[in-house]
Structure 1
Amino acid sequence: MPPERTLAVVKAAAGEAGVELREIPVPSAAPGFARLRVVATGVCGTDVHIARDEYGYESPVVMGHEILGAVDQVGDDADAGLLGRRVATETYFSTCGSCDWCRDGRVNLCPSRRSIGSFENGGFASHVVVPVGSLHPLPPGLGDIDGVLSEPLACVAQCLCDPAVVSPGDRVLVTGPGAMGQLAAQVAAASGGRVTLAGLPADASRLEVAASLGLAVTTEVPPAEAFDVVIECSGSAPGAAAALRAARRGGRYVQVGIFGREVSIPFDLVLYKELTVTSGFASTPASWRRAMALIEQGRVSLGPLVTARVPVSRWSEAFDNVRSGAGIKTVILPD
Protein backbone atom coordinates (compact mmCIF):
# COMPACT_ATOMS: atom_id res chain seq x y z
CA MET A 1 0.00 0.00 0.00
CA PRO A 2 1.31 3.50 -0.79
CA PRO A 3 1.74 5.99 2.04
CA GLU A 4 -1.23 8.22 2.82
CA ARG A 5 0.74 11.42 2.23
CA THR A 6 3.54 12.50 -0.09
CA LEU A 7 6.03 15.32 -0.42
CA ALA A 8 5.24 17.47 -3.45
CA VAL A 9 6.57 20.59 -5.17
CA VAL A 10 3.64 23.00 -5.20
CA LYS A 11 3.14 26.32 -6.97
CA ALA A 12 1.23 27.93 -4.13
CA ALA A 13 1.45 31.67 -4.77
CA ALA A 14 2.78 34.30 -7.17
CA GLY A 15 6.45 34.52 -8.06
CA GLU A 16 9.31 32.08 -7.65
CA ALA A 17 9.00 32.42 -3.87
CA GLY A 18 5.54 30.89 -4.26
CA VAL A 19 7.01 27.46 -5.16
CA GLU A 20 7.43 25.31 -2.06
CA LEU A 21 7.71 21.75 -0.77
CA ARG A 22 4.49 20.57 0.86
CA GLU A 23 3.08 17.36 2.25
CA ILE A 24 -0.18 16.46 0.48
CA PRO A 25 -2.55 13.47 0.49
CA VAL A 26 -1.82 10.66 -1.98
CA PRO A 27 -4.67 10.78 -4.55
CA SER A 28 -7.01 7.95 -5.57
CA ALA A 29 -8.16 7.07 -9.08
CA ALA A 30 -11.81 7.68 -10.04
CA PRO A 31 -13.47 5.79 -12.93
CA GLY A 32 -11.76 6.68 -16.19
CA PHE A 33 -8.53 7.54 -14.42
CA ALA A 34 -5.36 5.76 -13.34
CA ARG A 35 -2.97 6.48 -10.51
CA LEU A 36 0.71 6.32 -11.33
CA ARG A 37 3.50 5.62 -8.90
CA VAL A 38 5.92 8.23 -10.15
CA VAL A 39 9.33 6.88 -11.19
CA ALA A 40 10.75 10.22 -12.35
CA THR A 41 9.53 13.56 -13.65
CA GLY A 42 11.62 15.78 -15.89
CA VAL A 43 12.10 19.45 -15.09
CA CYS A 44 11.13 21.52 -18.12
CA GLY A 45 11.78 25.13 -18.98
CA THR A 46 8.02 25.56 -18.76
CA ASP A 47 8.24 24.72 -15.04
CA VAL A 48 10.57 27.68 -14.57
CA HIS A 49 8.19 29.86 -16.60
CA ILE A 50 5.35 28.77 -14.29
CA ALA A 51 7.48 29.57 -11.26
CA ARG A 52 8.07 33.05 -12.67
CA ASP A 53 4.38 33.57 -13.61
CA GLU A 54 5.34 33.59 -17.30
CA TYR A 55 3.04 30.67 -18.16
CA GLY A 56 -0.57 30.05 -17.16
CA TYR A 57 -1.36 28.11 -14.00
CA GLU A 58 -3.94 27.82 -11.23
CA SER A 59 -2.63 27.63 -7.67
CA PRO A 60 -2.16 25.69 -5.55
CA VAL A 61 -1.01 22.98 -7.94
CA VAL A 62 1.61 20.23 -7.87
CA MET A 63 4.05 21.02 -10.67
CA GLY A 64 5.67 18.66 -13.20
CA HIS A 65 4.33 17.25 -16.46
CA GLU A 66 7.15 15.13 -17.99
CA ILE A 67 6.14 11.99 -16.13
CA LEU A 68 7.38 8.42 -16.17
CA GLY A 69 5.40 6.14 -13.88
CA ALA A 70 3.94 2.72 -13.19
CA VAL A 71 0.19 2.20 -12.92
CA ASP A 72 -0.65 1.15 -9.35
CA GLN A 73 -4.41 1.85 -9.21
CA VAL A 74 -7.25 2.16 -11.72
CA GLY A 75 -10.71 3.52 -11.13
CA ASP A 76 -12.49 0.97 -13.32
CA ASP A 77 -12.05 -2.82 -13.37
CA ALA A 78 -12.08 -2.68 -17.17
CA ASP A 79 -8.67 -0.98 -17.01
CA ALA A 80 -7.10 -3.56 -14.68
CA GLY A 81 -4.83 -4.76 -17.49
CA LEU A 82 -2.84 -1.55 -17.07
CA LEU A 83 -1.80 -2.35 -13.50
CA GLY A 84 1.96 -2.60 -13.20
CA ARG A 85 2.61 -1.20 -16.68
CA ARG A 86 5.37 1.35 -17.04
CA VAL A 87 3.93 4.32 -18.89
CA ALA A 88 4.42 7.89 -20.03
CA THR A 89 1.47 10.23 -20.02
CA GLU A 90 0.08 13.04 -22.10
CA THR A 91 -0.26 16.30 -20.22
CA TYR A 92 -3.99 16.86 -20.69
CA PHE A 93 -6.24 16.27 -17.72
CA SER A 94 -9.32 17.52 -19.55
CA THR A 95 -10.49 19.40 -22.64
CA CYS A 96 -13.97 20.61 -23.53
CA GLY A 97 -14.41 18.10 -26.38
CA SER A 98 -16.79 20.39 -28.28
CA CYS A 99 -14.83 23.44 -29.50
CA ASP A 100 -13.65 23.71 -33.09
CA TRP A 101 -10.14 22.65 -32.12
CA CYS A 102 -11.20 19.59 -30.14
CA ARG A 103 -13.50 18.53 -32.97
CA ASP A 104 -10.57 18.90 -35.39
CA GLY A 105 -8.38 16.69 -33.19
CA ARG A 106 -6.23 19.65 -32.13
CA VAL A 107 -6.87 19.23 -28.40
CA ASN A 108 -3.66 21.10 -27.62
CA LEU A 109 -5.40 24.31 -28.74
CA CYS A 110 -8.60 23.87 -26.71
CA PRO A 111 -9.22 27.15 -24.83
CA SER A 112 -10.61 25.13 -21.89
CA ARG A 113 -7.71 22.66 -21.72
CA ARG A 114 -6.52 21.85 -18.20
CA SER A 115 -3.07 20.30 -18.05
CA ILE A 116 -1.22 18.49 -15.30
CA GLY A 117 1.52 20.47 -13.62
CA SER A 118 -0.17 23.81 -14.24
CA PHE A 119 -3.95 23.49 -13.70
CA GLU A 120 -4.17 19.97 -12.24
CA ASN A 121 -1.72 18.21 -9.94
CA GLY A 122 1.37 16.90 -11.70
CA GLY A 123 4.33 14.61 -11.14
CA PHE A 124 6.65 16.30 -8.63
CA ALA A 125 5.29 13.91 -6.00
CA SER A 126 5.16 10.17 -5.33
CA HIS A 127 1.82 9.61 -7.11
CA VAL A 128 -0.31 11.35 -9.72
CA VAL A 129 -3.76 10.68 -11.21
CA VAL A 130 -4.29 11.04 -14.97
CA PRO A 131 -6.94 9.98 -17.50
CA VAL A 132 -6.55 6.40 -18.71
CA GLY A 133 -6.72 7.65 -22.31
CA SER A 134 -3.57 9.72 -21.75
CA LEU A 135 -1.35 6.72 -21.00
CA HIS A 136 1.27 5.32 -23.38
CA PRO A 137 2.83 1.99 -22.35
CA LEU A 138 6.55 2.07 -22.99
CA PRO A 139 8.36 -0.51 -25.12
CA PRO A 140 10.66 -3.00 -23.39
CA GLY A 141 14.38 -2.46 -23.40
CA LEU A 142 14.45 1.22 -22.39
CA GLY A 143 16.80 2.42 -19.67
CA ASP A 144 15.36 2.86 -16.20
CA ILE A 145 14.23 6.45 -16.74
CA ASP A 146 14.59 6.95 -20.52
CA GLY A 147 10.80 7.16 -20.81
CA VAL A 148 10.77 10.43 -18.89
CA LEU A 149 11.70 12.11 -22.18
CA SER A 150 8.62 10.78 -24.00
CA GLU A 151 6.57 13.93 -23.40
CA PRO A 152 9.17 16.43 -24.68
CA LEU A 153 9.78 14.11 -27.63
CA ALA A 154 6.04 14.22 -28.41
CA CYS A 155 6.19 18.03 -28.32
CA VAL A 156 9.10 18.00 -30.77
CA ALA A 157 7.17 15.61 -33.01
CA GLN A 158 4.26 18.06 -32.95
CA CYS A 159 6.58 20.76 -34.29
CA LEU A 160 8.45 18.68 -36.86
CA CYS A 161 6.46 15.65 -38.00
CA ASP A 162 2.86 16.52 -38.93
CA PRO A 163 3.39 17.77 -41.56
CA ALA A 164 7.05 16.88 -41.98
CA VAL A 165 9.26 19.96 -42.10
CA VAL A 166 12.55 18.19 -42.87
CA SER A 167 13.10 16.31 -46.12
CA PRO A 168 16.00 13.95 -46.88
CA GLY A 169 19.11 15.96 -47.73
CA ASP A 170 17.91 19.21 -46.13
CA ARG A 171 20.59 21.26 -44.40
CA VAL A 172 19.19 21.78 -40.90
CA LEU A 173 20.31 24.14 -38.14
CA VAL A 174 19.05 23.66 -34.57
CA THR A 175 19.78 26.51 -32.14
CA GLY A 176 19.96 25.65 -28.45
CA PRO A 177 21.45 22.35 -27.16
CA GLY A 178 19.07 21.83 -24.23
CA ALA A 179 16.74 18.84 -24.10
CA MET A 180 14.37 20.18 -26.77
CA GLY A 181 17.25 21.07 -29.08
CA GLN A 182 18.87 17.66 -28.62
CA LEU A 183 15.58 15.90 -29.37
CA ALA A 184 14.79 18.17 -32.32
CA ALA A 185 18.22 17.52 -33.79
CA GLN A 186 17.74 13.75 -33.48
CA VAL A 187 14.25 13.85 -35.02
CA ALA A 188 15.51 16.03 -37.88
CA ALA A 189 18.37 13.59 -38.48
CA ALA A 190 15.94 10.65 -38.39
CA SER A 191 13.96 12.49 -41.10
CA GLY A 192 17.01 12.56 -43.36
CA GLY A 193 18.34 16.02 -42.57
CA ARG A 194 22.01 16.96 -42.42
CA VAL A 195 21.87 18.50 -38.97
CA THR A 196 24.07 20.99 -37.13
CA LEU A 197 23.31 21.74 -33.48
CA ALA A 198 24.50 25.19 -32.42
CA GLY A 199 25.21 26.48 -28.93
CA LEU A 200 27.37 28.90 -27.02
CA PRO A 201 30.88 28.16 -25.72
CA ALA A 202 29.27 27.68 -22.30
CA ASP A 203 27.28 24.79 -23.81
CA ALA A 204 30.42 22.70 -24.46
CA SER A 205 29.37 19.76 -22.26
CA ARG A 206 25.91 19.67 -23.83
CA LEU A 207 27.38 19.75 -27.31
CA GLU A 208 29.74 16.90 -26.40
CA VAL A 209 26.71 14.72 -25.71
CA ALA A 210 25.22 15.61 -29.10
CA ALA A 211 28.52 14.90 -30.83
CA SER A 212 28.69 11.49 -29.13
CA LEU A 213 25.32 10.74 -30.74
CA GLY A 214 26.71 11.49 -34.19
CA LEU A 215 25.45 15.05 -34.62
CA ALA A 216 27.52 17.90 -36.03
CA VAL A 217 27.90 20.69 -33.47
CA THR A 218 29.20 24.24 -33.44
CA THR A 219 29.73 27.22 -31.16
CA GLU A 220 30.36 29.54 -34.10
CA VAL A 221 27.81 32.04 -35.42
CA PRO A 222 25.97 30.07 -38.14
CA PRO A 223 26.69 31.32 -41.67
CA ALA A 224 23.99 33.45 -43.29
CA GLU A 225 21.51 31.79 -45.62
CA ALA A 226 23.21 28.39 -45.33
CA PHE A 227 20.32 26.19 -44.12
CA ASP A 228 17.12 24.90 -45.69
CA VAL A 229 15.45 24.50 -42.29
CA VAL A 230 16.23 26.29 -39.04
CA ILE A 231 14.74 25.05 -35.76
CA GLU A 232 14.89 27.50 -32.87
CA CYS A 233 15.03 25.69 -29.51
CA SER A 234 16.90 28.13 -27.28
CA GLY A 235 13.91 30.28 -26.37
CA SER A 236 16.19 33.31 -26.60
CA ALA A 237 16.08 36.37 -28.83
CA PRO A 238 19.73 35.95 -29.95
CA GLY A 239 19.04 32.32 -30.84
CA ALA A 240 15.99 33.28 -32.87
CA ALA A 241 17.87 36.08 -34.63
CA ALA A 242 20.74 33.75 -35.53
CA ALA A 243 18.29 31.18 -36.88
CA LEU A 244 16.46 33.74 -39.02
CA ARG A 245 19.72 34.97 -40.50
CA ALA A 246 20.94 31.42 -41.15
CA ALA A 247 17.82 30.39 -43.08
CA ARG A 248 18.20 30.37 -46.85
CA ARG A 249 15.80 32.31 -49.06
CA GLY A 250 12.59 30.35 -49.42
CA GLY A 251 13.53 28.22 -46.41
CA ARG A 252 11.65 27.24 -43.28
CA TYR A 253 11.83 28.58 -39.71
CA VAL A 254 10.38 26.46 -36.88
CA GLN A 255 9.88 27.89 -33.38
CA VAL A 256 10.17 25.22 -30.67
CA GLY A 257 11.56 27.15 -27.68
CA ILE A 258 9.35 29.30 -25.45
CA PHE A 259 10.58 32.85 -24.80
CA GLY A 260 8.25 33.47 -21.86
CA ARG A 261 8.12 37.19 -22.62
CA GLU A 262 8.02 39.61 -25.52
CA VAL A 263 11.28 39.71 -27.47
CA SER A 264 12.74 41.77 -30.28
CA ILE A 265 13.94 39.84 -33.35
CA PRO A 266 14.65 40.77 -37.01
CA PHE A 267 11.27 39.52 -38.22
CA ASP A 268 11.54 41.44 -41.49
CA LEU A 269 13.80 38.61 -42.63
CA VAL A 270 10.66 36.46 -42.91
CA LEU A 271 9.42 38.91 -45.55
CA TYR A 272 12.70 39.52 -47.34
CA LYS A 273 13.49 35.80 -47.63
CA GLU A 274 9.91 34.56 -48.01
CA LEU A 275 10.41 32.17 -45.11
CA THR A 276 7.76 29.69 -44.07
CA VAL A 277 7.25 30.02 -40.30
CA THR A 278 5.72 27.15 -38.35
CA SER A 279 5.60 25.86 -34.80
CA GLY A 280 3.73 23.43 -32.61
CA PHE A 281 2.25 23.85 -29.15
CA ALA A 282 2.43 21.00 -26.65
CA SER A 283 1.41 17.66 -28.20
CA THR A 284 -1.46 15.77 -29.80
CA PRO A 285 -2.39 12.08 -29.96
CA ALA A 286 -0.81 12.01 -33.43
CA SER A 287 2.49 13.43 -32.20
CA TRP A 288 2.53 10.89 -29.37
CA ARG A 289 2.18 8.11 -31.92
CA ARG A 290 5.15 9.58 -33.79
CA ALA A 291 7.19 9.79 -30.58
CA MET A 292 6.41 6.22 -29.53
CA ALA A 293 7.35 4.96 -33.01
CA LEU A 294 10.68 6.79 -32.86
CA ILE A 295 11.40 5.22 -29.46
CA GLU A 296 10.33 1.71 -30.49
CA GLN A 297 12.42 1.86 -33.66
CA GLY A 298 15.48 3.11 -31.79
CA ARG A 299 15.73 6.22 -33.95
CA VAL A 300 16.29 8.52 -30.98
CA SER A 301 18.70 8.09 -28.08
CA LEU A 302 17.18 9.25 -24.80
CA GLY A 303 19.33 7.94 -21.96
CA PRO A 304 22.37 10.20 -22.51
CA LEU A 305 20.14 13.28 -22.25
CA VAL A 306 19.31 12.65 -18.57
CA THR A 307 22.28 14.27 -16.86
CA ALA A 308 21.09 14.72 -13.26
CA ARG A 309 18.71 13.01 -10.83
CA VAL A 310 17.53 14.96 -7.79
CA PRO A 311 15.20 13.85 -4.96
CA VAL A 312 12.04 15.88 -4.55
CA SER A 313 13.25 17.21 -1.20
CA ARG A 314 16.04 19.02 -3.13
CA TRP A 315 13.78 20.24 -5.93
CA SER A 316 15.31 23.73 -5.93
CA GLU A 317 18.62 22.27 -7.15
CA ALA A 318 16.80 20.82 -10.14
CA PHE A 319 15.22 24.18 -10.96
CA ASP A 320 18.63 25.86 -10.59
CA ASN A 321 20.04 23.46 -13.20
CA VAL A 322 17.40 24.59 -15.69
CA ARG A 323 17.91 28.27 -14.93
CA SER A 324 21.69 28.03 -15.32
CA GLY A 325 21.70 25.63 -18.28
CA ALA A 326 23.60 22.98 -16.33
CA GLY A 327 23.40 19.58 -18.02
CA ILE A 328 20.64 18.66 -20.43
CA LYS A 329 17.72 17.08 -18.57
CA THR A 330 17.40 17.04 -14.79
CA VAL A 331 14.75 14.76 -13.34
CA ILE A 332 13.11 14.81 -9.93
CA LEU A 333 12.69 11.49 -8.11
CA PRO A 334 10.22 10.86 -5.28
CA ASP A 335 11.90 10.60 -1.87
Structure 2
Amino acid sequence: MKAAVVTQDHQVDVTEKTLRPLRHGEALLKMECCGVCHTDLHVKNGDFGDKTGVILGHEGIGVVAEVGPGVTSLKPGDRASVAWFYEGCGHCEYCNTGNETLCRNVKNAGYTVDGGMAEECIVVADYAVKVPEGLDSAAASSITCAGVTTYKAVKISHIKPGQWIAIYGLGGLGNLALQYAKNVFNAKVIAIDVNDGQLKLAEENGRRSDH
Protein backbone atom coordinates (compact mmCIF):
# COMPACT_ATOMS: atom_id res chain seq x y z
CA MET A 1 0.00 0.00 0.00
CA LYS A 2 1.02 3.64 -0.40
CA ALA A 3 1.72 5.61 2.77
CA ALA A 4 3.11 9.02 3.83
CA VAL A 5 6.26 8.08 5.74
CA VAL A 6 8.70 10.26 7.71
CA THR A 7 12.19 10.18 6.21
CA GLN A 8 15.54 10.45 7.97
CA ASP A 9 16.10 13.95 6.59
CA HIS A 10 12.81 15.18 8.12
CA GLN A 11 10.78 15.05 4.93
CA VAL A 12 7.71 12.99 4.00
CA ASP A 13 7.85 10.39 1.26
CA VAL A 14 4.85 8.62 -0.25
CA THR A 15 6.16 5.10 -0.52
CA GLU A 16 5.10 1.46 -0.43
CA LYS A 17 4.66 -0.24 2.95
CA THR A 18 3.33 -3.64 3.94
CA LEU A 19 1.05 -3.97 6.96
CA ARG A 20 1.55 -6.74 9.49
CA PRO A 21 -1.27 -9.26 10.17
CA LEU A 22 -4.07 -8.20 12.51
CA ARG A 23 -3.73 -9.05 16.19
CA HIS A 24 -6.41 -9.73 18.79
CA GLY A 25 -8.74 -6.76 19.18
CA GLU A 26 -7.61 -4.95 16.04
CA ALA A 27 -9.37 -3.88 12.84
CA LEU A 28 -8.14 -2.98 9.38
CA LEU A 29 -9.45 0.23 7.82
CA LYS A 30 -9.46 1.19 4.16
CA MET A 31 -8.77 4.88 4.55
CA GLU A 32 -11.11 7.46 3.03
CA CYS A 33 -9.44 10.64 4.26
CA CYS A 34 -6.93 11.97 6.77
CA GLY A 35 -6.42 15.57 7.84
CA VAL A 36 -3.10 17.30 8.48
CA CYS A 37 -2.50 18.54 12.02
CA HIS A 38 0.38 20.80 13.04
CA THR A 39 1.53 17.93 15.25
CA ASP A 40 2.26 15.99 12.06
CA LEU A 41 4.78 18.69 11.16
CA HIS A 42 6.41 18.41 14.59
CA VAL A 43 6.72 14.64 14.15
CA LYS A 44 8.16 15.07 10.65
CA ASN A 45 10.64 17.70 11.83
CA GLY A 46 11.93 15.48 14.63
CA ASP A 47 10.75 17.82 17.38
CA PHE A 48 9.60 14.81 19.41
CA GLY A 49 12.57 12.61 18.56
CA ASP A 50 13.56 10.59 15.52
CA LYS A 51 10.43 9.07 13.97
CA THR A 52 11.96 7.86 10.71
CA GLY A 53 9.72 5.27 9.05
CA VAL A 54 6.53 6.19 10.90
CA ILE A 55 3.34 6.70 8.88
CA LEU A 56 1.87 10.09 9.76
CA GLY A 57 -1.75 10.96 10.45
CA HIS A 58 -4.18 11.02 13.36
CA GLU A 59 -7.24 12.74 11.87
CA GLY A 60 -8.42 9.85 9.73
CA ILE A 61 -11.63 8.09 8.78
CA GLY A 62 -11.77 4.72 7.06
CA VAL A 63 -14.07 1.82 6.29
CA VAL A 64 -13.57 -1.43 8.20
CA ALA A 65 -12.32 -4.07 5.77
CA GLU A 66 -11.45 -6.80 8.25
CA VAL A 67 -11.55 -7.45 11.99
CA GLY A 68 -9.20 -9.54 14.09
CA PRO A 69 -10.07 -12.09 16.77
CA GLY A 70 -12.13 -10.81 19.69
CA VAL A 71 -13.52 -7.70 17.99
CA THR A 72 -17.17 -6.99 18.80
CA SER A 73 -17.36 -3.18 18.58
CA LEU A 74 -16.76 -2.94 14.82
CA LYS A 75 -17.75 -4.96 11.77
CA PRO A 76 -16.80 -4.83 8.08
CA GLY A 77 -18.47 -1.89 6.38
CA ASP A 78 -18.48 0.38 9.42
CA ARG A 79 -16.72 3.72 9.17
CA ALA A 80 -14.34 4.35 12.05
CA SER A 81 -11.71 6.81 13.23
CA VAL A 82 -7.94 6.94 13.44
CA ALA A 83 -7.32 9.35 16.32
CA TRP A 84 -4.26 10.76 18.11
CA PHE A 85 -5.27 8.75 21.21
CA TYR A 86 -4.67 5.35 19.66
CA GLU A 87 -4.65 3.20 22.82
CA GLY A 88 -4.20 3.45 26.58
CA CYS A 89 -2.95 0.78 28.97
CA GLY A 90 -6.30 0.67 30.79
CA HIS A 91 -4.90 0.19 34.28
CA CYS A 92 -2.66 3.13 35.29
CA GLU A 93 -3.92 5.86 37.63
CA TYR A 94 -4.83 8.07 34.67
CA CYS A 95 -6.76 5.42 32.77
CA ASN A 96 -8.63 4.55 35.97
CA THR A 97 -9.70 8.15 36.64
CA GLY A 98 -10.99 9.15 33.21
CA ASN A 99 -7.78 10.83 32.08
CA GLU A 100 -6.71 8.23 29.53
CA THR A 101 -4.93 10.75 27.31
CA LEU A 102 -2.33 11.11 30.09
CA CYS A 103 -1.77 7.32 30.22
CA ARG A 104 1.79 6.44 31.21
CA ASN A 105 1.99 4.01 28.29
CA VAL A 106 -0.21 5.82 25.78
CA LYS A 107 0.09 5.02 22.09
CA ASN A 108 -0.45 7.85 19.60
CA ALA A 109 -1.32 7.36 15.92
CA GLY A 110 1.21 8.87 13.56
CA TYR A 111 3.78 9.13 16.33
CA THR A 112 4.41 5.99 18.38
CA VAL A 113 2.41 3.77 16.00
CA ASP A 114 1.61 4.09 12.30
CA GLY A 115 -1.18 6.51 11.49
CA GLY A 116 -3.85 7.13 8.90
CA MET A 117 -2.04 8.82 6.00
CA ALA A 118 -2.08 5.60 4.04
CA GLU A 119 -4.35 3.48 1.93
CA GLU A 120 -4.89 1.18 4.92
CA CYS A 121 -4.48 1.50 8.68
CA ILE A 122 -4.65 -0.86 11.65
CA VAL A 123 -6.59 0.39 14.68
CA VAL A 124 -7.43 -1.00 18.11
CA ALA A 125 -11.14 -1.60 17.67
CA ASP A 126 -12.22 -0.54 21.16
CA TYR A 127 -10.50 2.83 20.70
CA ALA A 128 -11.75 3.51 17.17
CA VAL A 129 -14.98 5.50 17.22
CA LYS A 130 -17.71 4.49 14.79
CA VAL A 131 -18.82 7.36 12.53
CA PRO A 132 -22.59 7.95 12.52
CA GLU A 133 -24.52 7.65 9.28
CA GLY A 134 -25.10 11.00 7.65
CA LEU A 135 -21.85 12.53 8.88
CA ASP A 136 -19.43 13.17 6.04
CA SER A 137 -16.05 11.46 6.47
CA ALA A 138 -14.08 14.64 5.76
CA ALA A 139 -16.11 16.54 8.35
CA ALA A 140 -15.74 13.72 10.87
CA SER A 141 -11.97 13.56 10.48
CA SER A 142 -11.36 16.89 12.22
CA ILE A 143 -13.30 15.75 15.27
CA THR A 144 -10.71 13.06 16.03
CA CYS A 145 -8.13 15.66 17.16
CA ALA A 146 -9.18 19.31 16.95
CA GLY A 147 -12.76 18.40 17.77
CA VAL A 148 -12.13 16.51 20.99
CA THR A 149 -9.55 19.10 22.07
CA THR A 150 -11.94 22.03 21.76
CA TYR A 151 -14.95 20.11 23.08
CA LYS A 152 -13.13 19.44 26.33
CA ALA A 153 -11.96 23.06 26.56
CA VAL A 154 -15.54 24.31 26.33
CA LYS A 155 -16.84 21.58 28.62
CA ILE A 156 -14.43 22.27 31.50
CA SER A 157 -15.27 25.98 31.32
CA HIS A 158 -18.59 24.91 32.90
CA ILE A 159 -20.49 27.24 30.59
CA LYS A 160 -24.25 27.18 31.12
CA PRO A 161 -26.99 27.67 28.50
CA GLY A 162 -27.53 31.35 27.84
CA GLN A 163 -24.21 32.47 29.30
CA TRP A 164 -21.61 34.36 27.27
CA ILE A 165 -18.34 32.79 26.20
CA ALA A 166 -15.51 34.38 24.20
CA ILE A 167 -13.59 32.36 21.64
CA TYR A 168 -10.19 33.91 20.86
CA GLY A 169 -8.89 32.94 17.42
CA LEU A 170 -11.09 31.39 14.74
CA GLY A 171 -8.70 29.02 13.03
CA GLY A 172 -9.39 25.32 12.78
CA LEU A 173 -9.63 24.77 16.54
CA GLY A 174 -11.38 28.03 17.35
CA ASN A 175 -14.01 27.49 14.67
CA LEU A 176 -14.89 24.10 16.14
CA ALA A 177 -14.94 25.53 19.68
CA LEU A 178 -17.32 28.22 18.49
CA GLN A 179 -19.67 25.64 16.97
CA TYR A 180 -19.61 23.47 20.11
CA ALA A 181 -20.28 26.45 22.38
CA LYS A 182 -23.28 27.57 20.35
CA ASN A 183 -24.79 24.32 19.13
CA VAL A 184 -23.97 21.86 21.93
CA PHE A 185 -23.76 24.01 25.06
CA ASN A 186 -26.33 26.62 23.90
CA ALA A 187 -24.07 29.48 24.92
CA LYS A 188 -23.94 33.00 23.51
CA VAL A 189 -20.66 33.39 21.66
CA ILE A 190 -18.35 36.34 21.07
CA ALA A 191 -15.84 35.46 18.36
CA ILE A 192 -12.56 37.40 18.48
CA ASP A 193 -9.93 37.42 15.73
CA VAL A 194 -7.62 39.83 13.89
CA ASN A 195 -8.47 38.16 10.57
CA ASP A 196 -11.45 39.79 8.86
CA GLY A 197 -12.12 36.66 6.84
CA GLN A 198 -12.51 34.56 9.97
CA LEU A 199 -14.77 37.17 11.53
CA LYS A 200 -16.94 37.24 8.42
CA LEU A 201 -17.33 33.48 8.64
CA ALA A 202 -18.46 33.85 12.24
CA GLU A 203 -20.96 36.55 11.29
CA GLU A 204 -22.33 34.46 8.44
CA ASN A 205 -23.12 31.76 10.95
CA GLY A 206 -25.20 34.13 13.04
CA ARG A 207 -22.62 34.76 15.74
CA ARG A 208 -21.56 38.02 17.28
CA SER A 209 -17.94 38.86 16.45
CA ASP A 210 -15.52 41.55 17.50
CA HIS A 211 -11.90 42.56 16.84
Verify: 1:10 aligned to 2:2, yes or no. Answer: no
The residue correspondences of 1:132-281 to structure 2 (distance < 5 A) are 132-151=125-144, 152-161=146-155, 163-190=156-183, 191-201=185-195, 204-218=196-210, 220=211
Q: Secondary structure at the match of 1:165?
A: coil
Distance 1:56 1:192 in 2: 42
Cα distance in 2, alignment partners of residues 68 and 7 from structure 1:
16
| TM-score, length-scaled by structure 2 | 0.86
Q: Distance in 2 between matches of 1:186 and 1:150?
A: 12
CA shift, 1:205, in A, is 3.4
Percent identity over the alignment is 25
Alpha-carbon shift at residue 95 of structure 1 (Å): 2.6
What one-letter code is carried by the residue in structure 1 that aligns with 2:189?
Answer: V
User: Cα deviation per residue 1:180-204 (whole Å; 9 max; x = unaligned)?
Assistant: 1001111112313221222223xx3
C-alpha separation in 1, matches of 2:137 and 2:103: 34
When normalised by structure 1's length, the TM-score is 0.56
The whole-number CA distance in structure 2 between the counterparts of 1:77 and 1:139 is 23
- Aligned residue for 2:17, secondary structure, equals strand
- Following superposition, the deviation at residue 100 of structure 1 comes to 1.3
Gaps of 5+ in 2: none
Pick the structure with greater CA Rg.
1
What is the Cα-based RMSD across aligned positions, in Å? Answer: 2.4
Residue 103 of structure 1 is matched in structure 2 by 96
Q: CA deviation at 1:80?
A: 8.8
Listed as ranges, the gaps of 5+ residues in structure 1 are 1-5, 221-335
Paired residues in the alignment total 209
Name whichever structure is richer in helix by fraction: 1
Instruction: Give, in whole Å, the separation in 2 of the partners of 1:178 and 1:158.
Output: 17
**Alpha-carbon distance in 1 for matches of 2:21, 2:141:** 22
